[in-house]
Each structure stands twice: as C-alpha cells, then as structure tokens.
Amino acid sequence: MIRFVTRRTIGGVGVLWGIATLVFVIAYVIPINPARVIAGRSAPRAVVESIYRQLGLDHPVWVQYGDYLGRLVHGNLGESYATNQPVSQALLQRLPYTVELVLLGVLGEVIIGVGLALVAAARRGSRWDDFASVVAMLGLTLPTFWLGLLLLYIFAFVLPIFPLGGVDQSTWVVLPALSIAFTGAGVYTRMGRASLLEALSEDYIRTARAKGASHRRALVGHALRNAMRPIVTMAGLDLATLMGGVLVTEQVFGIPGLGTLAWTAILQNDLPMLEGVVLVIGVVIVVTTILIDIVYAWLDPRVRVTGSK
Amino acid sequence: MTRALRRHLVAVAVVAALASLTLASSLSPAVAAPARSGTTVTAVISADPPSLDPALGFDPISWSFIHASFVTLLTFNNSISIVPWGASGMPSVSGGGRVYTFHLRRGLVFSDGEPVTAQDYAAAITRILNPRTKSLLMAFYQIIAGATAYSDHRARSVSGIQVLGADTLRFTLVRPDRTFLDIMAIPNASAVPPKVIARNSAQFGLHPVGDGPYVVQSYVPGREITLVKNPTYFEAKQVSVQRIEITIGLTPEVEALRVENGSADVMMDTVPTPVYIALRTDPRFRAYLHHFTAIADNYVAFNLTKFPFTSRRVRQAAAYAVDDQQVLRAISRMGTPLTQILAPGMPGFDPSVEPLGYHPERARQLLAQAGHARGRGLPVLTFAVATGGFTAGSNVAQVVQQDLERVGFRVVLRVMAPGAFLSSLGRYPLTMGIYGIDYPDPYDLIASQFACSEIAAGNNWQDYCNHAVDRQLNASLGLSLAQSIPVYRRLQAQIFAAFPWIPLYYQELWYLVNPRIKGFGANPIWPMMFANWRA
Amino acid sequence: MSRWAPARRRRLLDAGRVLIRRPSGAVGLGITVALVVVAAAAPVLAPHSPSTQFTDGLTSFGAPVGPSRQFLLGTDALGRDLLSRLIFGLRNTLQVAVAANLIASVIGVAVGGIAGYFGGWLDALMMRLTEVLLAVPAILLAGFLALVTQPSPTSLVLIIAGVNWYYLARIVRGEVIAIRVREFVEAAVVAGAGPWRILVTHVLRQVWSLVFVYMTLQFSTTAIFVASMSFVGIGIQPPTPSLGNLIADGSQYLTSVPRLAIIPGVLLAVAVLGFNLLGDSLRDALAVRD
C-alpha cells in the first residue's frame, strides 16, 4: 500500500509539472501581446516595447520557461498584469468561496443521486423507480446556469428567502449549490442504479441472501460497496471538473471565486493570474485524484496489484 | 397508463409548472422594500474598477473612485468648465502660453496626516512619466518640457516641472497647448503621498491613500469596496454621505433586481436593455431612472488602407446601406443618430448637421458605379467586435451586418475579448468603434481618432492620415477654445466628407438609483460623483 | 449487412424488436427521429430565415413582439422570428453535439481500452496525460483554445471533443482493468488468443453497454457544455443560432419576456430527454441479448 501511495504521489508531482508546461505553452502560443494589453490603446510604441522588456518577454523561450519554473518552485506565482496584485494573494482570497460551493454542490449531487438510485434499485419496476428516473432526467436536461437564473429569480427576488447573488450573507451558497446538485445528480442516479442492479445479481449477493440476510441488508452491505466504485470515480472527477466548471454558476450569482477570477483573466489576457488559477486547481485535482485512487484500491484490492504493473 | 408515458407527463408537468410560475411572477415583480435610513449608501457594480491608482486608472469608473479619493489642482464642474480645486485659483500663464504657475490652497492633507505640498504634485506627474510605473498616460504628459528625455531614460528628472516652494509649482511646456489645463484636471493629475509610494508603488492601487472627499477604507478585489467620508478633506462640510458600501461581481440583471427590491441603492453599471424596456413604462420605477448623453462616438470604422474601403464610393455605399433607425431600435432607442465627429455636450458640436440617413437604393447604385454591382468582386469582410463594456455590443453589429449584406457585401462577424481585440487593431477592414472623451475639448475627439500619429498608438482605427489636417490640428492647440471651434468644425466636415465611418449613434447612459439618493450627478465625464450624493 | 453472420443479424433484429415493444424505447426513438427529421429539413420547415431582422419584428422602442400569424412564437431581441431560429438552432446544436460526442467517445474508448488492457508504461503514460488534461477545467481550456483559434463550427467540435474524451477514457480504463483479471479472459490467454483479439472480442464487449450509457448521457452534457460556452461567448458565433446561444440571449430577458429563454430551454430538454430514453432502452435491450 505504501509503495502504491508513494508511486502515485511522485506521479502527481509529474502531473503538476505537466500542467505548468501546458499552461506556459498555450500562453506562449497565444497571438496576443501582453505588453500591448497593459499599455492600453493610447500608448505609443516605445511604451509598449519598454513594458515588453520589463516583463522579460524579449528573452528566448527556454530562458522564459526556466525563469517560470524557477519562480513556481519557490511558490512565487507572480503579479497580475491587470492589478499588480500578487497572484497568490488573489487566489487565497477567492479559493474559499469556490471550495465551499464545489464541496456542497458535489455532496448534494451524491446525496440526491445515490438516494434516488437506492430507491430505484430497491423498488425496481415500481412507481418509485419511475419517479427517480424522472427527477434524474429532469436535472440532466437543464443547463446549470439556466436553473440558477430561475432559482435566483424565484427564491431570491419573488420570494426574498435567499440573497440575490453575492456573498454578503451567510446563506449565499444555498441556491448555487442547489442548482449544481440538482443538475448533476442525474448522472449518479443512472450509474448508481445500473451498478446496484448489476451488483445485486452477482453470485455473492445471491449467496448472502440465501444465507438469510434480509434484502435490504444485502443491498446496503455488499452491493453498495461494490457499486460505489464508479460513483467514487465519478465524484472525484466531478470535484475536479467543477472547480473550474462552476465559473458559469459563479458568474450568474456574482460569487467572487476562482472561476470568475479565471474568466476575467482570460478576457484581460492576464497571464500570471490565469496560470495561477490553473495551477491551484491543478493541485486540488491532483491531490483529489490520488486520494480517489487510494480509496479505489482499498475498495478493490485486486487493483493494488494489477494496477501497478 | 404505461410507465414511460407517466414518466413523460410528470416531467412535462414539472417543466410546465416552473415555466408558468416564472411567467406569472414576471407579471407582478416584488414591491420595492421601504427606503433605508441613515447616510450609508449601498451600491453594486459588475466588475472591479480597473485601477484606483491615479497613475494607472484611465476609464470613467476608475476616475470616479480616484476623483473621490484624491484632489487635483483643477477639475471640471457640472457644466464641464475647468475650475480650480486643489489650487487656490486658475494658474497664471506666461512665456507666450508655455509657462503655467500654480499656487496650492491651504488645508490639503492626506488621510494619514501628511500635509500635501507642491512637491507631491510634481512627484505624481513624474511618476506617471516614469516607464517603471507602466502608466497608460505617459503619452499625455509628453507636452511638458523634458518629459520625453525622462521617459527615455536620458534624464534623471523632468526639466519642465519646477517646485518653487511648498505651495508653488511651475510647468514649462514644449509649445503652447491650451489642453494642458484639461490634462491637469483629469483625476490622474492628483498628488500622491511620497512615503506610501516609496514603500510600495506597484500596489498603491490596492491600498490608495489620498486627500479627497472619501477614503478607501477597504478594497477586496472581486468582492467589495468601502468608502468612508474623509474628515480632513478641506471641503468635508459639503460631503453628505458618510459611508458607501459597494458589492462587486453581480451581473447587471441581478444588480437591477437588487435596486428594485431595495437591497441596493445605486447600480453603477448602466441599465441593460431588457431591464430598461421593462422599467420604462412601470410607474413604480419612473423616479429611479436617470439619464444623460455620453460624450462619445459609436461607429463602424473602415480601414482606409484595406480593399475595398480604399474607395470612397464603396465607403459611402456602406454608410448609406445601414438603417440608423433599426440600429437605434437594437439599443432600445437609448441614443440619437451620430451626425459628426464631435458629440452633444462637447463645445463646438453643431446641432444643425443632419444624420446621413438610410438610402439602400443609392448604396446599390454607388456600389455598381464603383464596379461592384451586387457585390461582385468584393471579398468576404471580417468585422471585428469586442465583447464586454469596451465597445457596442454584438447586437448592433448584427444589424450592420445584415444591412450591408442586403446591398451586396459579404460580412462575417468576429467577436473577441477586449485583450484579443486590442492586439488585432488595424488588421480587419471593419471594426466596431467607440471613443469616449478623455477630456472635454474638441481636440481630443478629432485628433485622437484621426491624427496620423494615432495610427501607431492605436486610436486611429481607420488608419486615416492627412498631413494638412494634422498641421491644422497641431496649430489649433495654441488657440483659445473659442478661437479653435471654427477650425474644428471645418476639419470635422472635411474628414466626414471622406466617409471614414458608418455613423451609428451617440449613446444615452441610463442609471437605476433609489429616489432617496438626491444629487445623483449628471456630470458626463464621470458618471458617479460620490461627493455630490445626499441620502 | 450481408457480410454479417446470419446469427448476428437475427440477434440485432431481436434486439430492435424488444426495443420498440417497450414504451419508453418507442417514445425515445420517436422523439429522436422527429428531432433529427426537423433538424435535417430545417431549410424547408422554417417559415423565415433565422438571421433576417424584420423592421416590424420590434416595437418602436426596440422590444420583441409577441406571437402572431407572421411570427408564430414571436420575435427575439433583434426582431428575428423565434420559431425559425429554434429550428435552425436545433439543427446546429445537434450537429455539434453529435459530432463532438462521437469523436470524443471513439478516442476515449480507444485510449482507455489500450491503457487498461496492456498496462505498464503505456498505461502510466496515458494516465499521466489524462491527469494533466483533467486538471485544467474544461471550460477554461476551451476558453483558452478559443482565444488561439479562429472560431468556426469545425474548431468548436474539435475543442469540445478535445476537452471531453478523457473522462470516458478513465472510466473505460478502470473497468477494463477489473475485467482483465476475470476468469474468462485468463482462459482466453491460456487458449493462445492474441492480446488485440482478446481486447476487442472479449474485454471491450463487456464495457460496451457502459460506453453506450455514457455516450447517451454525454449527449446531454455536451449539449449543455455548448450552451455554457455560448453563455460566456465562445460557442457558436452570432448571428448563427444554437439552442445554447438562444438561451443565453434570452436569459437577459428572463424577467420581461420569459418565452425567449424558456422555449429554447424546453426544446433542449426535450431533445436530451429523447436521447436519454432511447439510450436507456437500447441498453436494456442489448443487455437482454447478452
């Protein structure tokens, strides 16, 4: 197990290097001159060129890459081209909001999704199975931002229960998290139902039931554990995607998180900020993936051996 | 009833329920909450002001904040005349119009207790000219003697700025230029505290310290700004609102909802079109709407150096092809047709000039005369449009595109983020243009957009260059404003007769403000005059 | 078709019959076919061109006009016929979503299958590559790429496929690893079958239903991803309609002219419902056959 974890961690560091390089390459390839953007449209050519030199953009690419990696290793993420604010400071300010939103959102997805899947699998073929499928399908068919707009209008304006966007009140997270949970739960319901049904028909479940364990205990105890495998994979990937994918939800609700920070950075060609956001999200994702792999290996010991060939 | 059918009906029923709930509730939105008391004002804005640093902030929103926290020697009053503010009177002019001497008034002090001196003003202008500051305004102050040498690292200081005592400051210019008073009145010419700057110049915009009516108590980028009244401001008696709390990051539609239900007082973005349409006829919100005309041009720029717009006939055809009334409808009539380069409110604007009008048949004739009947021989034209508040939206671009295609042009839209847009200037035959004034002198509107030198700097998106016009523009700076107006009227007529643009409109800016706020100013140069508000 | 073995042909026909007999399968098939027909026949079906801005399509103050004989569903913010834009929007969205989904799934299955079965350095390399790609949020990567490329439907399809294939790759890889150690696979190895044959004939067939379920699920995710890209401005470019940018344009009018955002949203929902129902029933039908 220790070797497994160590190998995964080293792999993780490699992935982070890969992300940093990918971001550097894309930023280098973009046909936009950051000095021009900083200098604004009124600046004479001399000013633009001076800024260009100050940013070190006239150095050969491998020198820029080396400086970039060196900077990163020391934890210096540079300063925003737009505001001169240290990137790490901006990230720390924004990270808590996105993390809170994503965690609650995924939690909601899993609870709603697996809950519905349990209902559907336990009463397969009945009215409850239908109900679960309908709810799941409904969620999947709605764009998150569309549902978010609807929830905002109905539950924050028409019925002023929740705040109208922003994060100035403590209940700010409820509506955006709900919009994420409801539109994402469907995936878990389907996968959960399919996996549960498959697992329920496995030999060892039949054996457990033949031995006298009740239907429900068999379901929860054995089937769930095995069915959780794709669910856990999915939840991990979900957390990963959502860290950046919530950007549209963040925009609708006006949440000052990483998503809106990244999008503003793209629009303003604020490359240090964009690199910083992508790297932070990358760290979160890599750590999450490693944890998921460990849980995966714990759930299915066969993987520990075969997965590390 | 089969299972699947049941599933369907339930799904459809739920969606229908949601839909009808929305439809029903849109007929009767929430009643405005009772007005808040106290002299705290809440405002909402969709994005951070680009900078609160006087050396860097160069857009109307940043200017509003800088103007609220710093004092310039001169300023523009509500009739956009230049009046003294930090100076005790207008400067004395000598040396054939090249030497300006200012005297500071007494009582100016920074919010950290340091007194403001003439040296601080000198240092602030020098800081703008320092390339390390990366200021967009370097070009503006090159009119000061010795500025170019300093910006090029050939001199240690700016020879044209002389400090003659604690409260006397003298500027010597390269040549007579009446717009020097204008560039001393824009908020960028504010004094900044030298000790704070010495500690951290690059991040001064995140923690600004000034001597103006308000102090920036806190600024969390992307989240909020809080302004509190500055008790040591020399005219503090005239400032009514004690505290302004601004939430950053909401979309304009949500901002409008907040003002409508009373949880915000002021919406700092202009009202979006759909909200304007809905609220225009709603009696409850009539008192909330304020409007005034921006001193700005909205147009489509032809690139005069790119085929087919090298031909004046083709340009004229394109200009006649666009239905200005349809364009106005696309912006809900929040504007009037553009008739000339100068804009309403700008001295020298000629209200007697008629708009070009909509003449599609003449457009087709002109195209045929130019050898491109029904668009024959014309390439596919790329039309560059920027998203965001930077230029007119893509709605207007789509109207223009359709009108041009009706007479035979083939146009494809390229909508870009502002950064990409800036980097691509000059590359495309058609560009959606907007130009808002830097200061209220007609020279700014004409020279910034049509002088040869502005091609490299990027404001002259038409790549228009006429050296005779340039000479007259330069000469006009030595004249007084009244003397120069006939010159500008003549020049703008001459330039316009060459059809450099498809004229679009002058924009009307509409704002949504709770009626309990009085004194919401109509100063077109910066929309938010915090110091004028009374709650 | 005639090259296939008679037994296989019979099995497919049986599966088809099972599918149609179930009501959800029939309805799903019906919706999907209807929408595909509408999308294909768009130039014929739509009463007007989707980009024509009518002068009588806006009130004098520039507001959209409501449903009338000329405009069956009313007009949009620029006076264009909403119904025509819906029909063409459906067509454009379907084209992009199906193409992108197909490309992404093919790449995902291929990469995931090879990585999971052969293991070793191939697996490690592909895992690292997908991890790097997974660590950059799809919409950010799409935004980044959109900055670099010329916007066109082709580049849009490629960008979407490019930011989507690795999810399926990892899931397929996970399942293939679990299946690889099963008895029937080991038996086939012992029997002397080559690795490619085993991979395709034995292992991939086990994951087939999972992939199919995922593909039909992914259609909705892809369609909504396109909508999100349009919402932030990097999807299908104006004035070309797509269900996504119709919702985006209409969302500004949610409180004043709700039909502009709600009707495209409902159409998108129906399309996704149809595909999901079809996929569900197909999966059940295929599982029955195995």
Q: Please state, in angstroms and rounded to a whole number, the distance separating the CA atoms of residues B449 and B442.
A: 11
Render pLDDT for C23-82 as a digit per residue (tens, 0 to 9).
Answer: 667 777 888 889 989 999 999 989 998 888 888 888 877 788 889 888 999 999 888 999
Average pLDDT value for residue range A7-17? 84
Nearest Cβ partner for B274 among C53, C256, C273: C256
Residue A101's Cβ-count burial label (10 Å; 0-12, 13-18, 19+) is: buried
Render pLDDT for B133-188 as a digit per residue (tens, 0 to 9).
Answer: 888 888 889 999 999 899 888 899 999 999 999 999 999 999 999 999 999 999 99
Average pLDDT value for residue range B505-517? 93
Q: Over 60: is that where the pLDDT of B390 sits? A: no
pLDDT (0 to 100) of residue B389: 43
Between B280 and B245, residue with greater pLDDT: B245
Q: Which of A267-281, A286-300, B508-522 has the lowest mean pLDDT?
A: A286-300
- Is the minimum CB–CB distance between A256 and chain C shorter than 8 Å? no
Q: Please state, in angstroms and rounded to a whole number, the distance separating the CA atoms of residues A116 and A129.
A: 8
| Contacts with A128 from chain B: Cβ below 8 Å | none
Q: What is the mean pLDDT of chain A?
A: 80
Q: Over 70: is that where the pLDDT of C9 sits? A: no
C183 confidence band (pLDDT: 50, 70, 90)? low
| Contacts with B254 from chain A: Cβ below 8 Å | 152, 164-165, 252-254
Between C27 and B120, residue with greater pLDDT: B120
Enumerate residues 401 to 430 of chain B having a beta carbon within 8 A of any beta carbon in chain C. 401-402, 413-415, 417, 420
Strands (E) across B410-512 are located at 410-416, 430-436, 501-512
pLDDT (0 to 100) of residue A260: 87
A303 confidence band (pLDDT: 50, 70, 90)? low
Give the chain A residue whose CA is nearest to the CA of B153: A50
Q: What is the mean pLDDT of chain C?
A: 79
- Is the minimum CB–CB distance between A251 and chain C shorter than 8 Å? yes
Query: CB distance A83–B221 less than 8 Å?
Result: yes
Query: CB distance A29–C276 less than 8 Å?
Result: no
Token digits for B353?
């000039």
Query: CB distance C255–B278 less than 8 Å?
Result: yes
pLDDT (0 to 100) of residue C18: 64
Between C52 and A292, residue with greater pLDDT: C52
The ipTM, to two decimals, is 0.76
Give the chain A residue whose CA is nearest to the CA of C244: A143
Query: CB distance B26–C266 less than 8 Å?
Result: no
Instruction: Go through A12-43 and write b for each residue having 16 or more CB atoms within 10 A of its CB, e for each that does not.
Output: beebbebbbebbbebbeebebbbbbbbbbbbb
Token digits for B135?
């200021």
Q: Which of A107-121, B203-217, B346-360 has the lowest mean pLDDT?
A: A107-121
| Contacts with A240 from chain C: Cβ below 8 Å | 134-135, 137
Nearest Cβ partner for C252 among B4, B253, B329: B253
- The most confident of the ranges B117-126, B409-418, C252-261 is B117-126
Average pLDDT value for residue range B190-212? 93
Query: CB distance A22–C132 less than 8 Å?
Result: yes
Average pLDDT value for residue range A125-143? 75
pLDDT (0 to 100) of residue B32: 37
pLDDT (0 to 100) of residue A221: 67
Render pLDDT for C108-144 as a digit per residue (tens, 0 to 9).
Answer: 888 888 888 888 888 888 877 887 887 777 778 887 7
Give the chain C residue whose CA is nearest to the CA of B387: C233
Render pLDDT for A168-205 as a digit per residue (tens, 0 to 9).
Answer: 888 899 999 999 998 888 878 877 887 777 777 766 66
- CA–CA distance from C51 to each of A277, C89, C240, C242 (Å)? 38, 11, 7, 12
Q: Please state, in angstroms and rounded to a whole number, the distance separating the CA atoms of residues B103 and A180.
A: 61
Among A1, A215, A198, A200, CA closest to C178: A198
- Is the minimum CB–CB distance between A254 and chain C shorter than 8 Å? no
Q: Select the residue from B250, B270, B329, B395 to test the C interface by mutation, using most C Cβ atoms within 10 A.
A: B329
| Contacts with A94 from chain B: Cβ below 8 Å | 222
Q: Which of B86-90, B228-232, C26-30, C68-72 has the lowest mean pLDDT?
A: C26-30
Amino acid at A31: P
Contact B180, B481 (CB under 8 A): no
Token digits for A65?
């890459």
Render pLDDT for B464-484 as a digit per residue (tens, 0 to 9).
Answer: 999 999 999 999 999 999 999
Q: Over 70: is that where the pLDDT of A209 sits? A: no
Q: Please state, in angstroms and rounded to a whole number, the distance separating the CA atoms of residues B318 and C7.
A: 68
Query: CB distance C140–A18 less than 8 Å?
Result: no
Distance (Å) from the alpha carbon of A142 to chain C's nearest alpha carbon:
6
Strands (E) across B27-167 are located at 40-45, 74-76, 82-84, 92-94, 99-103, 161-163
Render pLDDT for A20-69 as a digit per residue (tens, 0 to 9).
Answer: 888 888 778 777 777 777 776 656 677 778 778 877 788 888 888 888 88
Between B254 and B208, residue with greater pLDDT: B208
C224 confidence band (pLDDT: 50, 70, 90)? confident
Between C254 and B439, residue with greater pLDDT: B439
Between B43 and C177, residue with greater pLDDT: B43
Query: Quick one: what percent of chain C has pLDDT higher than 70?
Result: 82
Nearest Cβ partner for B8 among C27, C77, C238: C27
Nearest Cβ partner for B422 among A41, A164, A256: A41
Q: Over 80: is that where the pLDDT of C202 sits? A: no
pLDDT (0 to 100) of residue B168: 96
Q: What is the DSSP letter of A222?
A: I
| Contacts with B456 from chain A: Cβ below 8 Å | 44-45
Amino acid at B345: G
Contact B277, B507 (CB under 8 A): no
pLDDT (0 to 100) of residue B123: 95
Query: CB distance B261–A157 less than 8 Å?
Result: yes
Query: CB distance B22–C258 less than 8 Å?
Result: yes
pLDDT (0 to 100) of residue B266: 95
Chains touching C, CB cut-off 8 Å, 3+ pairs: A, B
> Beta strands B243-248 and B40-45: pairing type?
parallel
Q: Select the residue from B2, B44, B206, B263 to test the A interface by mutation, using most A Cβ atoms within 10 A.
A: B263
Q: What is the mean pLDDT of chain B?
A: 87
Q: Over 80: is that where the pLDDT of C257 sits? A: yes
Residue pairs between chains A and B whose CB atoms are closer than 8 Å: 160
**Does the model's pTM come out above 0.90?**
no
Distance (Å) from the alpha carbon of A259 to chain B's nearest alpha carbon:
11
pLDDT (0 to 100) of residue B476: 94
pLDDT (0 to 100) of residue C1: 42
Token digits for A56?
């070190």
Instruction: Go through B161-181 and write b for each residue having 16 or more CB atoms within 10 A of its CB, e for each that does not.
Output: bebeeebebbbbbeebbbbbb
Q: Over 70: is that where the pLDDT of C230 sits? A: yes
Render pLDDT for C270-283 as a digit per residue (tens, 0 to 9).
Answer: 887 788 777 777 76
Q: Over 80: is that where the pLDDT of B14 sits? A: no
B424 CB neighbour count, 10 Å cutoff:
17
Contact B122, B163 (CB under 8 A): yes
Between A24 and B378, residue with greater pLDDT: B378
CA–centroid distance for A17 within its chain: 19
Q: Over 50: is that where the pLDDT of C5 sits? A: yes
Query: CB distance A268–B418 less than 8 Å?
Result: yes
Q: Over 50: is that where the pLDDT of B1 sits? A: no
Average pLDDT value for residue range A234-245? 78
Q: Please state, in angstroms and rounded to a whole number, the distance separating the CA atoms of residues B66 and B80.
A: 18
A211 confidence band (pLDDT: 50, 70, 90)? low
